[in-house]
Structure 1
Amino acid sequence: MTADATGYDVLIVGFGPTGAVAASLLGRLGHRTLVIDRLTDVYDKPRAIALDHEIFRHFDNMGLAEAISPYIEPFTASQHFGVDGQLIRRIDMVAKPYPLGYTPSMVFSQPAVEAELRRHATSFPNVRAELGVELLDLVQTSDRVEARLKDADGRQRSVTARYVLGCDGASSTVREIAGLPLEDLTFDEPWLVVDVRVNQDALVKLPQCSAQFCNPARPVSFLIGPKNHRRWEIMLLPGEDARQMERPENVWKLLAPWLTPQDGELWRAASYRFHALVAADWRNGRILIAGDAAHQQPPFIGQGMCQGLRDATNVVWKLDRVLRGTSPDSLLNSYTVERKQHVIELTGKIKAIGQSICERDAAAARQRDAQLLAQGGGKPLQITRQEIIPPLRDGLVARHETPARGSLFPQPRIASEGSVRLLDKVTGPGLRVFIDGRTSEAAALLALCAAHAEISAAAIAPPGTPDALEETEGVLQNWFDRHGVIVAVVRPDHYVFGTARNAAELADLLSEIDLRLRDVPAGQANKIPDLRMEKTP
């Protein structure tokens, strides 16, 4: 076995969407990054199909929006139909003006988007990608991790990195080596996922919105993907053999209510067990996990990949601070605290929707239908996908609860330099303070922020307000009014650390975030265990 003399800042195991986004973010921040994957190319069939405005905001911050936009379309509303085929619930998007500046819910073609994510990651000179490479073992010490790798030709070698991020999927080798057990969130259902490229003249046969057919005889989900891509998620019944149900002749029998084999091309048919699982801890010393390695959840509102990319954007800005020496290693403990609770809470909501859809008892299903219609005042219940996504409840957010703490900060459109641009294009990401430019205290609040060199500050107000960025649609003005605050302290991943109603409260927030970023309490430090194992020849 050979040793690579090059030491990396971060080794990423797994070059799927989560690993590719993490590699890009680390590359942009200047960290020496090695990303490996057992496979040599992007999987050529779709798995994930949905993303949301939070994730697209990060893609835009990364400079990827233009490259991936051709493969993305707005997500249609999802209509839920009851036992007798009646509409019982509708899940849609929030109305314009959109809070983050983009269509809130989207569908995408994973192979094409994933290829762009990989291309972007490897465009940084400090990011190296090695494909066809398998992780065999990890051994960590107080200041680094040694990884034993096997190349496609069977040659073994070792590399070192200051941290390892495991993005290597549901059967994660990194998670297994690090001894991070999974907790069962009690959902386990067999489903068949079918993707079809539908002929243009057959599209009129299909629903024009995405749909959930909550039929106790066999629950089915129908999703409208980009262009002519349509997906069915079909529950398998007791006694049905999953592998047999994947056979084309059986798939077309299941699709018979909608299409015939002459109506399109069967792109993929794969059986899955929809699980709800979360790792007990997402960190062991210098080893961290993200994406499906850290959690798996049912797909009923299309948040699986989004959750993995939230992991990446959360952990990378913290790793950046630790690697640069501006925060202690114990800052990384907030990663598990924040993301695990978020995953558990969102999975709980997804499970409730899934269990409602999956009801197999006809009497209970009719009761469900009546309850949903009653909740809607006799009409189909209407909710938005955005209200289902929870805020951060704990971790690196203000200790005293303030309005909007832990929520995503909006992104208004700003009139700047003769054009209208989204807020992040004007200010960039990073630690930021945003001030309601209508307040008489704006100048004093800006002066207060000036003493904190790491934090940028801006006042935002309607057109005509002196010394403020001009927003064009009132998104942020309405946000300040709704929460009764005049200041928000915002993290690099766009989550609100805390809000303030006056200068004294802002001074407290600035002192708190400064202290917590530089002096995480020693009691939170994660002791680095010795993972040395007996080696086999």
Structure 2
Amino acid sequence: MTDTAGATDYDVLVVGFGPTGAVAAGQLGRLGHRTLVIDRLAAVYDKPRAIALDHEIFRHFDNMGLAEAVSPYIEPFTASEHFGVDGRLIRRIDMVAKPYPLGYTPSMVFNQPAVEAELRRHATSFSNVRAELGVELLDLVQTSDRVGARLKDRDGRHRFVTARYVLGCDGASSTVRQIAGLGLEDLIFDEPWLVVDMRVNENALARLPQCSAQFCNPARPVSFLIGPKNHRRWEIMLLPGEDARQMERPDNVWKLLSPWIKPHDGELWRAASYRFHALVAADWRSGRILVAGDAAHQQPPFIGQGMCQGLRDATNLVWKLDRVLKGASPDSLLDSYTVERKQHVIELTGKIKAIGQSICERDPAAARQRDAQVLADGGGKPLLMTRQEIIPPLRAGCLAHHETPARGSLFPQPRIARGSTARLLDEVIEPGWRLFIDGRSNDAAPMLSLCATRPDISAAAVAPVGAGAPDALEETEGVLANWFDRHGVVAAIVRPDHYVFGTVRNVTELDGLLREIDVRLRDAPAERDKNSDLRMENTP
């Protein structure tokens, strides 16, 4: 590679300006890091691809100051009803009941082009973030303290930049992943599907299902999703012998949609054939080069977690990268990124794969057995599940060494009373390292005193309104009090990405946990738990 002396230098080069890259760039910008984000395309892709997000992701949007901007393009996700061989309802996947644990609707649908445009606008609102479109990455070369990148501008001119780290968010065929030599592991799922997006006329909407649905018909499995406003999506399994490109033709698409809708009922927005894969990068890091989003993993879409996984990658990595760039933690902290996110992806993909294989059953006899088993699991009635129970916690990485209740799970976000109104917890105490204490506990005061010497950790006691805890924030719905009671703990230390580092039952345990944070963040790399090298054969 040509000498990069004199090349423009950045803290981070983000390759790919889709949702994952835009969130990473926006978070890096807010933290003050000089960031260059590039994308080979000149504009946001104008067709919907991702359609679902959840409360964890919206919480991060809110933390970034984006909730108001993206809310017009987001609506609640309807329940998903699964119908068996004879059209009988066998399973219903909904969201958890109120009061919502994170303070938002747990499952949502969204308009990707519009939301992605807002994510880009937010990222480029920071003076330290530069976005360059129509720019292609050609090569990367690492030195001891930098990565040199050779770029090709839209006019064909080659130039060089350097960065302390490179983050590849450049999709399933990632150039960054290939240059870094990060191989993919096959999690054994490969099915051809046709995805059809429609803008349905108002007078035709009432004739369509009023819930999202999975038609688990062995003749041809079909998924139906209700998107925002008049957006409806069909995901249709292609059968052996069907040519994927031919099936994208409008005449074939309308034949497939004919049980539900006719050409005069709406506008065909997009028809694209895909192979639904299950893949994960063997390692997500090679020195100063890291990958995220589809560059690191691909999974079937059956519970709408594809984009969510990419944004979890970004939020997991950025707070660690921030510490490393500022010299607060050693570079080895970044090793926990692969440990945490790879295992989470493999475990969730295993659950999604099991649901997908159930939906995709083509043998009628086996499909009837499936229906009977699902109904039996529901006690003779349609099995009720929530999307939230399908999402696993973190199992390993930058967490308390000893497994404590709720370790690695998402910490809830109660509503805090503020005069005659209520505000979400993150608005009262901004994200970062935080200690939350059960204000009803006798240990609340000594725990607050213990943490008073730690400027790097915000501490607060929280108790229900009327609990008689004068120094505590008052929550209005008992979300956090119920959480403390359920887990049998009186305090939790929470990471900047809202995952629980560890929990304690008394002051002595808290003192030990605070010491362990120093070890994890400052003195040693995160240890790999003995079960962290999970493989697909160990997942359901």
Matched, 1:467 2:437: no
* Cα separation, 2, equivalents of 1:72 and 1:125: 28
Aligned counterparts, 1:170-319, within 5 A: 170-319=172-321
Alpha-carbon deviation of 1:410? Answer: 0.1
Partner of 1:410: 412
Whether 2:422 is the aligned partner of 1:420: answer yes
Residue 58 of structure 1 is matched in structure 2 by 60
Match of 1:398 among 389, 397, 400: 400
Worse overlay, 415-424 or 32-41: 415-424
Give 1:450 deviation, angstroms.
1.2
- Check 1:430–1:489 CA distance in 2 against 1; reply closer, same or farther (3 A cut): same
- Give 2:496's aligned amino acid: P
State the shift of 1:7 in Å.
1.1
Please tell me the residue identity of whatever aligns with 1:227. K
CA distance in 2, matches of 1:4, 1:13: 21
Tell me if the contact between 1:4 and 1:157 (Cα under 8 Å) persists in the aligned partners: no
Q: What does residue 535 of structure 1 align with? A: none
Cα distance in 2 for partners of 1:388, 1:523 equals 26
Tell me the C-alpha RMSD between the 2 structures.
Answer: 1.1
1:507 corresponds in structure 2 to 511
- Does residue 33 of the first structure (1) align with residue 35 of the second (2)? yes
Equivalent pair of 1:408/1:495 in contact (CA under 8 Å): yes
C-alpha spacing 1:225/1:187, structure 2 compared with 1 (3 Å): same
Conserved 8 A contact 1:90-1:383:
yes
User: For 1:78 and 1:455, how far apart are their aligned partners in 2?
Assistant: 41
CA offset digits 1:144-200 (Å, max 9, x no partner): 000000000000000000000000000000000000000000000000000000000
Show the counterpart of 2:389.
387
Structure-to-structure mapping, 1:63-82, within 5 angstroms:
63-82=65-84
Q: Distance in 1 between matches of 2:167 and 2:525?
A: 24
TM-score w.r.t. the length of structure 1 is: 0.97
Deviation of 1:462 (Å): 1.2
Q: 1:290 to 1:468 in 2, by over 3 A?
A: same
Q: Is the 8 A contact 1:3 1:159 kept in 2?
A: no
What residue identity is the alignment partner of 1:519? D
**Match for 1:325 among 300, 317, 327?**
327
Q: Structure 1 42/69 Cα, relative in aligned 2: closer, same or farther at 3 Å? A: same
Does structure 1 residue 489 correspond to structure 2 residue 488? no
CA distance in 2, matches of 1:143, 1:447: 41
- 2:168 matched residue in structure 1: 166
Separation in 1 of the partners of 2:109 and 2:215?
Answer: 20
- Asked if 1 retains the 8 angstrom alpha-carbon contact of 2:463 and 2:475, the reply is yes
Q: Which moved more, 1:409-418 or 1:346-355?
A: 409-418
Give the 3-state SS of the residue equivalent to 2:161 in structure 1: strand
For 1:482, give the aligned amino acid. R
CA contact (8 A) 1:246 1:271 kept: yes
Does the C-alpha gap of structure 1 residues 293 and 4 become closer, same or farther in structure 2, counting only changes over 3 Å?
Answer: farther
Give the Cα–Cα distance (whole angstroms) in 2 for the partners of residues 367 and 5 of structure 1: 63
Q: Aligned to 1:205, what secondary structure does the other structure show? A: coil
Distance in structure 1 (CA, Å) of the matches to 2:41 and 2:93: 37
Shift of 1:6: 2.7
**Number of residue-to-residue matches in the alignment:** 524
Identity of aligned residues (%): 84
Cα deviation per residue 1:275-328 (whole Å; 9 max; x = unaligned)? Answer: 000000000000000000000000000000000000000000000000000000
1:143 equivalenced with 2:145 (yes/no): yes
- State the 1:416 CA deviation: 2.5
Cα deviation 1:10-55 (Å, max 9, x = unaligned): 0000000000000000000000000000000000000000000000
- TM alignment of 1:432-447, pairs within 5 A: 432-447=434-449
Partner residue, 1:375: 377
2:520–2:526 Cα contact (<8 Å) kept: no
Q: Hey, what's the Cα distance between the residues in 1 that align with 2:527 and 2:43?
A: 43
Verify the 8 A CA contact 1:3 1:157 in the aligned structure 2.
no
- The answer on whether the counterparts of 1:416 and 1:469 sit within 8 Å (CA) in structure 2 is no
Unaligned regions of 5+ residues in structure 1, if any? 525-537
Which shows bigger deviation, 412-421 or 71-80? 412-421
Change (3 A) 1:404 1:131: same
1:523 Cα deviation after fit: 8.7
Secondary structure (helix, strand or coil) at the match of 1:360 reads: coil
